[in-house]
Structures are given as C-alpha cells and as structure tokens.
Structure 1
Amino acid sequence: MKKKPITMDIINSCSEHYRADKNNKVYSDAVMRNGLVEVSLNNDSIRSMHFDFSHEIEVGRVTAQKKTARCWMFAALNAVRYSISHSLRMREVDFELSQNYTYFWDKLEKSNLFLENIIETMDRKLSDHEVAGLLKDPQSDCGQWDMFAKLIEKYGVVPLYAMPETQSGTDSKIINEIVNEKLRQGAKELRDMNRDGKSMEEIEEQKESILLDMYNIICHFLGEPPKTFDFEYWDLDGVFHRDQDITPLEFYHKYSKVKPIDYISIINFPTEDKPFGNTYSLKYLGSVVDDEPIKYLNLDIEVLRQAAIAQIKDGEQVVFGCDVGKMSHRELGILDTNLYNYETVLNTKFNMTKEERLMYRGTSLTHVMTFTGVNIVDGKPNRWKIQNSWGEAEGKKGFYIMSDEWFDEYVFKVIINKKHLSKEILKQYEKAPTILSPWDQVGPLF
C-alpha cells in the first residue's frame, strides 16, 4: 500500500478543528507561557496527598544514587540496612551500607556474564539480533532485586565507611564507557579465536585473562573491596559494640534479617501472552552466573497490594518497581493518576489500559523504591509512603507519596516475604519459567 503524505486539505481540517473550540487558544497560551506541568497541575490531588499514614515504618534518612542508575541497589540495601539497624537498636541514624561495595561486584559479575554470553553466541554473525543486542549494551548500572539477591549471597555487604562512595559512584558515565569498551574488545578477541579454530580451553583461558583486566579497571574507579573490616556502633542504651576482622559475607549472615531465600518477585503484567499464575524469565538476564534462573510470578494487582500491606503491617518495608515518570511530580514527591488535568488542558483523551500501554510500549518498569507506609481507611488503602533514593531535596525529605490508583496503573513488581503468601501462590512460583525475548517488557533493568 502506498504511503499517503500530509496534504493542505488535511492541514486545513486540522486548523479548523483546533480553532473550533475557543478554549484551545486559552490553554495553548497558558501552556506556551508556563509549561504543561504547571498549567495542568491539580491542586485537589496535592491536598489529598498528605504524609499521614495509619501504618508506617521509621526507616531512617533517604540516600542518594546521584547520577547513576543504581536505584534497585539502593532500595534493596535500604531494606537490608533497616533490618540490621532495627534489630541491633543502633543509635546511628545515619548508618548506611556501602552501595559502592555491591556496585563493584555487580560490575565484575556482569562483565563475566557478558563474556559467557559472547562465548555462547560466538558462532553467530555480528548482524544476529541477539549478538547485536549484547554488544550494544554489554553491561550497565541497571538491575533488579533478584540480581541483588545473588550478589549479597555471594559477597555479603559492608557498612558505608568500609568502602565509601567514589567519584564514579556519583556519576557513572565514564566507568560505563570504559568497561563497555573493554568488554567489546574482549568480545572481538574471543570471537576471533573461535574463527581461527582455537580450542574451547584456550578461549576460556582468554576469558579469564580479560576478567583480570576488568578487575584492575574497576578497582581504579571504585577501589578494591575489603576482605575484612571492624563493625563498630553504639546502641540506644549507650553501649558500644565492636566486631573485629569480620568478612563481608560473615557480616551479612550474622546481622541481616533480610535473606533473599525468604522472598520472591511478584509482578503484574496483565497481557494476554503472560497468563497469571505462571513464572517468567528473560534470555540472557542476570549478573551472577549460576544454575538458578531469575524468575517472576505474574499475578493480579490485588495480590500485590494485599501482600505489600501485610508486609508493612509486619514492620518490614517493601521493595517495588514502577514507572516513576508517569503522572508524577518530582519536586512535590507525588505519584497520583489525578495529579494533572492533561485531558482538559489539551482537549483530548488518554484511554489506554495498563495492558494496552504495556503491549504498545507506552509504559515499563523504570525505577525501584521501597514502601515504608500505607494509609488504610475502612479496610482499604488510599495512599502509600515511599522511600526514594534521589536525596532529601525533593518530596518530604526525600520521601514520596503515592495514591492507590497510581499503584494499580504503574506498579509492576513487589518483593514479598514468603510468609505473607498463600501455599497456592508459593506452589505457582515453583513452576519452571517461560523464557521470554531479551527485549520483553518484563525485562527492563532499573
């Protein structure tokens, strides 16, 4: 079918349609002068989104991921941090775990996974869409709870003072450029060896040599992770504690009440190709190479809601993933489907459902935070308190607030302790996952 261009008749019809409603000119002038956000901001929404909650956890101050995409890591570490400080009754309100330590191992593990994926696909052409996808983005800052879980089970965690943030922890652009450049170079070396008929043993030895180089490079940006450290703190009774020469893994097992084996990832992707009650994974997804695939159980949004409420009531925050840019105001710290009067101001309709937005790539999981509170009225939630990782300048000292309607539309994942889930749900989670395309909507890493 021949493509049709825009004609003057079409342009004239568009102009007539615009001028037929006098309100269009009024709103256009306002938007051009002040921007759509300020013109369409709904003050009724702002008044209803106040920071009072019937169930709330005092989790300490908000952290800042700065110019990196480590929200998933910050959110997960916030959950572990609270479990440690709360159980030990620590006096330090500023106690924090080292994101830089976890970041180091994430970089190294992702480098290894990339090289393993290159070896797996080295018989394919560079134009193969999966090979091209691997080479386009060998590794990044992005991730998910399940990747974090594998990292801390293997490497443990350390307090912030044991491995402080570095310049690349505030702005990761250069470290990612350098690491990815070296990984692409490594990919070429491995593929060239395969083309030249080298043995698999020789190729694997070269991969290990590349990892030596990667470790060296990452150390230059982030420092070398400590093998042991002294854990020191004051408790609320004024007693000083010291645990000397403890390893990061020993520290994690001894002090963290959050253990990944106790949690599962529940998602809400209400599309026809992903029936509820089944588990899903993505090809090439992960960081740590092992035999356990990362998987998610897809369930109705009401299951996610009730599980999150149960966990908050039990005194534990909830790590969750969402599309944070939709119907949100960063400075105010508000997430609400009624926050903007877009339809009125623009004289149009936005009527796609959550399923339709997913199918047509209009929404995806873009950010990870934690729920630290919920307000229950007559047995139902109407707003949620959120601990973000964008510093304390926005929202209420860095905390955000979400309407329950926003939860329905833009929350896609919650990390839930198994004790808050039914036997039926846990049985469903044991199903072998359906392996999806690397570019499926379930898969964006943030």
Structure 2
Amino acid sequence: MEIKKSFLENMESDFKSNRANRVAQRAAMNNGIVEASVNRFEGDSNRHEFNVNLKDTEIRNQKRSGRCWMFAALNVMEYKLCNKYNLKNFELSQNYTLFYDKLERCNYFLESIYKTMEEDLDSRLVSHILTDPMGDGGQWDMLKNIIKKYGVVPKYSMPETQNSSDTTSLNTYLTKLLRMYAKNLRKANEDNATSEKIEEMINSYMKEIYNVLSIALGTPPKYIDFEARDKDDNFISYKNLSTTEFYNKFIEMDLDDYISIINAPTNDKPYYKSYTVQFLGNVVEGDAVKYVNVPIGDMKKSILRQLQDDEPVWFGCDVGQFFNKKGSRLDLETVRVDDLLGVEFDFNKEDRLDYKESLMTHAMVFMGCNYDEENDKIDRYRVENSWGKESGYNGFLVMSDEWFDEYMYQALINKKFLSDKIIKAYEEKPIELKPWDPMGALAKISDL
C-alpha cells in the first residue's frame, strides 16, 4: 500500500496534538529510547540479596571480544580450583583456549567446504557456511572439545594480547583468508583435483593459519608450572605439567558429567529429546554440540539443585532483551519501551524463536538465587558477568524469574542433578537440526 501525502499530514497532526506523544518524544530524543523508558520505581523485588549465595570470585573482563562462553566456563573451573586449594583467586588463560578454538574452527570450516564441494555456490548451505567463517561465539560443547584435547593453562602462562582483548582485526583477516581458501578449494575441485591434492592444499592453509594465530596471540605452551599461595599463606608448587595433566589433576570437573539442557518451546522440538545442529562445531573429531530440550520448570529445578550444592551454573540467554544495564537488571518491568512508544510486543517465547526475534546471545554464570521455600520457586537469580567490575553491580546482574521464563535458553548441569528421563534422552541419537536453526546460535556478546 502506498504511503500518501494525506496520510503523513494526518499522522503529524494527530501526533502533535497528543500530550503523551510530545512528552515521550522529548524524553527519548534527549536520553535515548531505553533510558527514557526506565521505570525508576521498580527494583524492590529485584534486590542484590540472595539466600542461596556462592562465594565470590574475581570478576573477569572479556573486553572487546565475543569470548563470553569461554570466560563463563573458565570462571566455573576457577571456582572449583580455588575451593579445592583454598585460593582467594586464580585465573586461567582465556587466550590459550581462544588460540586453539580459532585453530580448530579454521580446520572445521575447511572441512565443511570440503564436504560441500558438490553443492552450488549459491545454495543456502554454502551461503550459510561462508556468511561468518570466523567469529568469537561458541557453545559449551565446543569449549569441552578444546579442553579435552588441549587442556587449560594458568593465565600467567599465556596472558592476554591486544588481539585477544580486541579480536576485531584478527577475525577480519582470518575471514578473508578462509573465504579465499574456500574459493581455491572449490576451483581445484572444479578442475578435477584429486582428494590428495585437496588435502595437501588444506594442510598448507592450516600452516598459514597457525602462523597467523601465533603472531597475533602468541605461541601456546606445552608444559606449565602451577604455583599459587593459598589463603593461609601456604605456597603451592607443581612443576613441568602438561596442559592436559594440569586440567585433569587440579580441576575437579569431569567434562562428561555435564549435560546442556535447553528450553525451546517450538513445535519442531518436542521435550525430552536430544538435538544437534548440522555444521556446528570446532574440533572435527570432537563431540558434537548436543543438548536436551526440557520444560522451563525442569531447567529451574536442576539449576536450584546445583546451586544448593555449591556449584556455579554456566548458562546462555538473550541478554539484550529489555536490559537495564545501569540498574544491572534483567527483568520485564524496568525497561518499559512499550509504554514509551505506545506499542505492544505481542510475542511469546515460541514466536520469538520462530520469527528470529530472539536466540541465545550471551553466556554467563549463576552464582546464587533467592529461593522462596514456601512457594517452592526462585524469585530472582544472581548472575556473574564477564564485562568487568565497573559493569552492573560490581560485575553482577540480577535476573527476575519472569525474565528467565522468556529469554533463558541453555544451562549446563551435572548429571547428578538431572532426572533419569533427561539423561536417557541425552544418551539417545540426537535429532539433527538445520545449520540455521536458532538453537545453533553462538554466545558472543561483549559489553553492550
């Protein structure tokens, strides 16, 4: 339908005649849409006080990188390490895991190009693979694969670099290389190159990638020393450990004991079934990304059990939805953009997923909750973020139960806190989802 001049004139007249519109316009133009919509009187129900409260560890800062999923997972591991050895603080290297994720992800990309040689270049699948060859985002299983293969190291063994703290340039030039490699491989295939020739080309490309990563991020160590001083001033020292030995011996977290559960209430994903996503991963020979879809109530119960057992919970959500950053709140009552703009956002969770309005964007850690025992429900959640101490409430956010229902998507839970029904579903052969399914989203948000 054509927008006519008469329509515009009528709309302008109607808009200006409405006092609420004029007030909202001034507020939004001077303060921005989100800040103008904040309800300052909301907050009593979302206090930073919790009756299930894990001990604080140091707040980390992922800076200008999309490594939230790594930071969140390593934060959980640091918590376990500090508890085991009575440490006030100990930081694991996020640069180390970044190096090997980039290396493996480049190889995974080239393998995906190899597998799709016979697909048309403009097919949806090839287009999807080429759209974002190298970002920072990830899923839990991808980090699990890196740690199983390469272990972890203390941060002092492989500290941050400018390119790990701000991955923009590295990702840009890796993307250029990978798309060029894809072009060369497909052209070689069109010219009837042998499989041996193709493999030789991939091997050559991976050598270049290794050199690029070493220049930008540093060369990862193979052996490290574990040294720290505990809260009682006792010195801890273990020398010449392999990187996998360090993880297996000092961090009590069997990666195979943990299952990713999701809540995706869409018609194509029945509950208590396991799912994976085609062409999603990093380590070619590693475990597939896999999770079980469960009702939201099951997810809450398992999170509560794990927190009550003094264990943090890695999780993924859509952090930008109605987020009051200054007030450190994830809830549905503080940011009332609908009131400001005079509109209604008529979506339920299923609609948001189906119509690409929401998906997992960020990974953080639950470090506590407020449990209403009388009504057997959690009122609010204590969230440890990775945007530094200056962000939020000393680095923490508070999430309301209502916001959890709408925008919480994934949680990592120890099997001992899950029902037999969920474990059985996880052990079954997963249903394969298309590469562009919203459950294939990668957590990658840096400071908003």
TM-score interval, smaller chain:
over 0.9
Moved more, 76-85 or 343-352: 343-352
Q: Is 1:107 the counterpart of 2:102 in the alignment?
A: yes
The aligned counterpart of 1:85 is 82
Shift of 1:19: 5.2
User: What SS does the corresponding residue of 1:386 show, helix, strand or coil?
Assistant: strand
Structure 2 counterparts to residues 14-413 of structure 1, below 5 A: 14-15=11-12, 18=15, 21-91=18-88, 93=89, 95-290=90-285, 292-377=287-372, 378=374, 379-413=376-410
How far 1:313 moved relative to its partner?
0.4
Counterpart in the other structure of 2:446: none
Residue 10 of structure 1 pairs with residue 21 of structure 2: no
Asked whether the 8 Å contact 1:311–1:317 carries over to 2, the reply is yes
Question: Gapped runs of 5+ residues in structure 1?
Answer: none
* 1:424 matched residue in structure 2: 421
Give the secondary-structure state (helix, strand or coil) at the position aligned to 2:438.
coil
TM-aligned CA deviation for residue 169 of structure 1: 1.2
Q: What CA distance in whole angstroms lies between the structure 2 residues aligned with 1:178 and 1:36?
A: 35
After superposition, the CA RMSD in angstroms is: 1.5
Deviations 1:145-174 (A, max 9, x none): 110011101110001000000010111111
**Superposed CA offset, 1:273-292 (max 9, x none):** 11111122211000011263
Identity %: 41
Residue 101 and residue 291 in structure 1: after superposition, are their counterparts in 2 closer, same or farther (change >3 A)?
Answer: closer
- Deviation of 1:26 after TM superposition, in Å, equals 2.4
Q: Check conservation: 1:157, 1:249, Cα contact below 8 A.
A: yes
Amino acid at match of 2:338: E
- For the 8 Å contact 2:261–2:412, the answer to whether it is kept is yes
CA distance in 2, matches of 1:328, 1:34: 16
Whichever residue aligns with residue 363 of structure 1, its letter is: S
Could you tell me which amino acid in structure 2 is paired with residue 404 of structure 1?
A: D
Post-superposition offset of 1:185: 2.1
Contact residue 119 and residue 126 of structure 2 kept, 8 A? yes
Could you tell me how far 1:324 is from its partner in structure 2? 0.3
Tell me the SS of whatever aligns to 1:442.
helix
Instruction: Give 2:186's aligned amino acid.
Output: R
Stretches of 4+ aligned residues off by more than 4 angstroms:
none
Query: How far did residue 30 of structure 1 move?
Result: 2.3
Between the aligned partners of 1:34 and 1:145, the Cα distance in structure 2 is 38
Task: Identify the range of structure 1 (347-356 vs 103-112) with the bigger mean alpha-carbon deviation.
Answer: 347-356
Residue pair 1:45, 1:339 contacting (<8 A) in 2 also: yes
Deviates more, 1:271-280 or 1:418-427: 271-280
**Could you report, residue by residue, the CA deviation over 1:28-73 in whole angstroms, capped at 9, with x for unpaired residues?**
2222233222332112323332211001111411101100101001
Contact 1:79 1:258 in 2 (8 A): no
Q: Aligned to 1:384, what secondary structure does the other structure show?
A: strand
**1:72–1:369 contact (8 Å) kept in structure 2:** yes
Contact 2:96 2:220 in 1 (8 A): yes
Structure 2, gaps ≥5 residues long: 444-448
Cα deviation, 1:412-443, whole Å, max 9, x if unaligned, reads 00010000001111111122222122111111
**Contact map agreement 2:141 2:287 (CA 8 A) in 1:** no
Question: For the residues of structure 2 that align with 1:19 and 1:348, how far apart are their CA atoms?
Answer: 17
Task: Tell me, yes or no, if the aligned pair for 2:141 and 2:288 is still in contact at 8 Å.
Answer: no
C-alpha distance in 1, partners of 2:179/2:339?
49
Give the structure-2-normalised TM-score. Answer: 0.95
Q: Give the Cα separation in 1 of the matches to 2:337 and 2:57.
A: 36
What SS does the aligned partner of 2:42 have?
Answer: helix
Q: Is the 8 A contact 1:45 1:336 kept in 2?
A: no
Shift of 1:14: 3.5
Aligned-pair CA distance for 1:351: 2.5
Separation (CA, whole Å) in 1 of partners of 2:329 and 2:266: 27
Amino acid at match of 1:192: K
In structure 2, relative to structure 1, the CA distance for the partners of 1:160 and 1:47 (3 Å cut) is: same
Task: Number of aligned residue pairs: give it.
Answer: 441
Counterpart CA distance in 2 for 1:33 and 1:177 is: 35
Cα distance in 1 for residues equivalent to 2:134 and 2:31: 39
Rounded to whole Å, the distance in 2 between the matches of 1:77 and 1:245 is: 22
Q: Tell me whether 99-108 or 130-139 shows the greater mean CA deviation.
A: 130-139
Secondary structure, aligned partner of 2:205: helix
CA distance in 1, matches of 2:334, 2:253: 35
Q: Is the 8 A contact 1:354 1:409 kept in 2?
A: yes
User: Bigger shift: 371-380 or 289-298?
Assistant: 289-298
**Cα distance in 1 for residues equivalent to 2:351 and 2:284:** 34
For 2:337 and 2:113, the matched residues in 1 are separated by: 46
